[in-house]
Each structure stands twice: as C-alpha cells, then as structure tokens.
Structure 1
C-alpha cells in the first residue's frame, strides 16, 4: 500500500495515523476509479486493520460504484470486529446516503475530528 502518495489515477491517497488508516477518495469516484481503489480497499480491510477512515472531503462525485466500495468496506470490517468511519461534508452525497437508507449503516460525520469523537462517545 502506498502511504501519503496518490495512486496513478489520482483518486486515492492513503496515510496512517497512530490508531487508524485514512483513505481519502479524490475527485470523481465512478466505476473506473472504483476498480482501481478496490484492491487497495480490500487490503485495508484485512487484519490487522481494525479502524479505517474513508474521507470523502476531496470527492467531487460518487456513483453507485463508490457507494458499493463504502458498503463493502463496512461489511468486511464488521466481519472482523473492526469499524469504518466515514467523513462526508457534501450535501448531495449525504442526501444520496439518506435516500438509500445508508446513513445509519455508514454514520457519516462532517469532519475527521467529529468522526473520531463520535467513535469515542459510542465506545465510552
């Protein structure tokens, strides 16, 4: 996995924090981007990873392929007693998550700090 360096397509940047891994989705996340991201996402959702943050702040577009990536990551982490935090400040993407009844499952937060605080509150 490439940490802190964007992939050739430019849609993904990955970096490690002390207790979690952050994947930033950049630009348009469509089927072509999802195909590039998928193997890296699968690697990031296998042990020993237990906490993954997907940050959609730099995302300008997310289609059903991007939504499938989010659901796949959540499922893979849940199967391994891990957790996914989703950062999403975009009203249109949030509306899509609401319409598809995915907000309860993905629990989007507007900032990374709020996502991490929300996890601490839920654990405590």
Structure 2
C-alpha cells in the first residue's frame, strides 16, 4: 500500500454574501481534518434556515470521512430548513458522488453565481485534528 502525502485542510476562508455564508475549504478533507472542520461547520449550521456554500475547488482530495462530513452538514442544514450548495468543477469529485450514490443528494455548482467566491474573505485557521 502506498502512502499519500498529506495536504490536510488547516485553514479556510469565510465570508458572507447577503444571507449566505461561503466557506472556501483548502487542502484535503479527510479523517485528519474531519473533527476540526465538523466543529466549525456545526457552529455555522446551528441556527434556523442556514444558507451555506462550501467551495471545494481548492480541495485536492476527499476521503470517506470527508464525504461523511458533507453528509452530516447536509443533514443538519436540511433539519433546520436551510440550504447547502457545494462548489466543485472536479470530474473526480462528481465521479466519487456517483460511485457512492450521492449524486442527487447534493446541489453541486461549478461556481457560485452570486458574486466571486474567491474574492476578499476573512481568513481563519482551523487546526487539524490531533494538532495543537
């Protein structure tokens, strides 16, 4: 078994566009980063009718733990009457969704249509799980 070099997500950019919170994830979304990302995304989805966009374009790798996190966020948003959109133009990400039966579960956009997602954003560090 070959080891994959880790580029785990350790930061994200976040901004608000109208009533929508846009979170640009960077690095891998995997078992290492799941816990720290989950804590932050739980905070963002705590209120009624959260409107959340997760920009996955800077994410080079997502594993089953990362997919589980996306499902968790989707379920929390749906339970609160909100809306979740994923931004990804990656054919491999769409293939992963297809192979896991999640194609119709998420709204996946090639870009966020309410202004440039990659514009000025407030940066926050998100420590990877197990690092302090």
Instruction: Tell me the TM-score range normalised by the shorter chain.
Output: 0.7 to 0.9
44-53 vs 89-98, which moves further: 44-53
In structure 2, the CA distance between the partners of 1:11 and 1:93, relative to structure 1 (3 Å rule), is farther
What residue number does 1:19 align with? 19
Provide the TM-score with structure 2 as the length reference: 0.74
Higher relative contact order (CA 8 A, sep 6+): 2
What residue number does 2:35 align with? 35
What residue number does 2:81 align with? 81
Unpaired runs of at least 5, structure 1 = 1-8, 115-124
* RMSD of aligned residue pairs (Cα, Å): 1.6
Task: Indicate the structure (1 or 2) with the bigger Cα radius of gyration.
Answer: 2
What number of residue pairs does the alignment pair up? 106
Unpaired runs of at least 5, structure 2 = 1-8, 115-132
Superposed structure 1 runs of 4+ greater than 4 Å apart: none
SS in 2 for 1:13: strand
Provide the TM-score with structure 1 as the length reference: 0.79
What residue number does 2:109 align with? 109
Residues of 1 paired with 2:91 and 2:108: CA distance?
11
What residue number does 2:55 align with? 55
